[in-house]
Each structure stands twice: as structure tokens, then as C-alpha cells.
Amino acid sequence: MRVGSTGWLVAGALTLALAACGDGESARQAATPAGVAAHTTIDFAHVAHYAAPTLPAYFDRTVTALDHSPASNPVNDRVATLGRVLFYDLRLSTNDRASCASCHRQALGFTDSMRFSNGISSAATTDFHAMRLGNLRYWKPGSTFWDRRAASVEAQASHPFHSLVELGWGGAAGGFDALIRKMDKTTYYPDLFTWAFGSSEITEPRIQQALAQFVRAMVSSSSRWDTGYAQVFSPIRPNRALNIDLPNFTPAENRGRQLFMTGVGQGGVGCSACHLPPTFALTATARSNGLDAGETRLFKAPSLRSVGLTGPYMHDGRFATLAEVIDFYDHGIQEGPALDPRLRRGGRPQRLNLSAADRTALVAFLMTLSDRALTTDARFSDPFRR
């Protein structure tokens, strides 16, 4: 990355200043430039709201404490809108063939149904399965990718551009300098950057900021589980009422919920010790899950929100179905230096030996986490006129 600490401070201060402007300025600057209107459905007079979503009561301080959003890049409606355009723009690849959305499809919970994704060419694929993006912001360490190699969502935003497989700007393609020259020649990006940042200058830090804000705004809170939990939630009940049967669930779904939420030795299997409700994002202390014997890498999994919309699963997409995932946690975990201690029993990888009915119930519960509102929300849809 070609970003110094001073650059980040300036960019952060600018975003904070824009955030202070609020909707009043948006209303005054109502005319959408012709180039923006010709290529996109973005309307400068009616800015989508990303900065302050309305969330259920149980998304309280216990959840906000897990939010890794940096103070230098608070969500601003204009900047996040620019991020939406960047996320879907095929022109940001070297051959106009791929975008972020090519691998992270809204209808699938912002993942890909392919085991490994194509980018600028069908002849090559990514090394890892595309991660779901809902509730990405609630992974407290803030690092991204399955192997945690990017320190933040901002840093992660640059990786697909540099990848020769994904967007193709690495090596001889010329990197961000070549990409920015291409963006400068469009009839919409100079105006969009002026609208979002106050000047038409297109830079890597600004691209990072906008994409990070858009992705962090993908908060999932509208599943069937949310509908039921909202009816029983109480911050003063034991375990915040997570162990109470939900009125809108079938008996099998409630059995799966009970197994998920309750610890081993207390009648459950302890899934929630690592996948924290209500976000179902991974706990900050999680290690690896024993997919392979001798594993030394620490993996980071996405939130389980919308996990039932599509397979495959795991960093390498080795499991095609949720039933296979449950079978693995039941009797397939292997020993290794990086194995999370919560997946050991008596010093050995756990063997739960669940009944077929309980394994089916866990799958049924996971299906209740599907968030159809997020997968159809116009704020996160393709803004381009195709």
C-alpha cells in the first residue's frame, strides 16, 4: 500500500467533515451530473442511508463493542454510495469483465456459489472461497481474509486490484496508477469523488475508504431468528434469553437453536462460544477448526448470517452442504497446533456423536439465519444501467 500515516489522517479528517454536513448539504446539491446519471441510478438529491441503520434492541453495547470501524473512517452516506459504485463497476478490472460483486453476490449473502471464483479470466481462479460479507464489521480484531493477512477492511480493499486473477492490475498492468488513469477518463468518477470527498482527486486511500464503508454497512439483522429473538430478548434474563425457545420456530429449529446456544456438558454443542449471537460473527479469540491434521494457520471465518443461502463452505470450499459441515464438527475435527481449545474434549479433538435428528436440527437452525432483507436491499444492489 502506498499510504502513509499523514495521508490516513487527512483522509479521515475529510470524511469526518463530510459526515458533519448531513442531509442538508445533500439536499442543496440536488443535481446529479450527466455522466453519473447516464451510467448509474445514483441520485444526488436522494442519498441512500448507510451511516445510522435502525437495528434491533439486542444490537446494543455488547455488539457495538465488537465493531472494528476505525475513527478515521466513519460511515458517511456519500462515501458509502461511492463505495457501492466501486463495488459493482466492471470497468475497475483491466478487461471490464470483473468487479467485487462478481465474487460477492448479493442474492447469495455476498458470497459465490463456486468453490473458487473467476476474475478477469475463466482460465484462473482465486485461492480461497469468497467470504460472506454480512456483519463483517463485528470481528473485533478487524483483520480480513480467511488467513487474516490484511490488517483492516481498508487494507483488504486494495488486494483484489493488485491480484492478477481478480481485477488484474498487478505487475505489468501498472497497479493503482494505471487504474486511476482509467477512472479519471470516465464521465462519472471525477464527479462522484468530488461529491463524496470534496475534490475530484482519485487515490488509493479514497478507494479504500469508500469500499470499506460500503462493506461495513452490510449489517444483517432481519432473519427469521431475529424475528423470534426480538419477542423474547431481555438484557437482564440469563444469557440474554438466548436459551429460550422462539415462538416462530418449528420444534426441529428450536432443538437446533438449543444445541447451538448451549455449552457442551450442559445439553448442547457450544457453537455460540465461537460464533457469537446476535451477529453470529466469530469471537476475537477464535483459532482454527481442525480441518486438516497439523494445521498451524489461524483462520478467520465470516459471520454465519445467510450461511444457508448457498454452499460451498470453509476456506477451500471442501464441503458442499451444511449437513457435511455439521458432520465435520461432530466427528471430523483433526489435531493440530492451531486448533481452538473449545474444540477439544479431554485433550483430544471433540467427538460429539450427535444423533441424526440432532444433526438435522442444527442445519434447520442455521437456515433460520438467512437474511432476505439484506439480499434484496436496494442500497446494496447494482447501481449501474446495464
DSSP string, 264-281: TTTTS--GGGTEETTTTE
Q: Could you tell me the CA-to-CA distances from 41 to 33, 37, 98, 232 in Å, in that order?
A: 11, 6, 20, 40
- For residue 29, the model assigns a pLDDT of 56
Amino acid at 155: A
* Cell numbers for 204: 488509493
Span 116-133, pLDDT tens digits: 999 999 999 999 999 999
Amino acid at 225: W
43 touches 36 (CB < 8 A): no
- Ramachandran angles phi, psi of 379, nearest 5°: -65, -25
> Among 293, 286, 314, 33, which Cα is nearest to 143's?
286
Query: pLDDT per residue over 259-279, tens digit each?
Result: 999 999 899 999 999 999 999
Q: Which residues of the chain have pLDDT under 70?
A: 1-29
Q: Which three cell numbers stand for residue 48?
A: 441512500
How far apart (Å, rounded) are the C-alpha atoms in residues 192 and 367? 39
Residues 6+ apart with CB under 8 A from 320: 311, 312, 313
Helix H or strand E encompassing 344: strand 344-345
Residue pair 134/111 in contact by the 8 Å Cβ criterion: no
Q: Say how far residue 307 (Cα) sits from the centre of its chain.
A: 12
* CA 192 vs CA 84, 217, 219, 323, 339: distances in Å: 11, 19, 24, 45, 46
CATH superfamily of 224-370: Cytochrome c-like domain (1.10.760.10)
> Distance (Å, rounded) from C-alpha 148 to C-alpha 287?
11
- All structural domains of the chain with their residue ranges: 5-219+374-380, 224-370
Concatenate the DSSP letters of all residues of 285-334 into one string: T--B--SSTT--PPP-PPP-TTTTS---BSTT--BSSHHHHHHHHHHT--
Fold of domain 5-219+374-380: Cytochrome Bc1 Complex; Chain D, domain 2 (1.10.760)
**What pTM does this model have?**
0.91
Q: Crossing angle, helix 175-184 and helix 153-162, to 10 degrees?
A: 90
pLDDT at 143: 95
In angstroms, the CA 303 to CA 66 distance is 13
What per-residue confidence (pLDDT) applies to 357? 98
Any idea which residue has 441503520 for its cell? 53
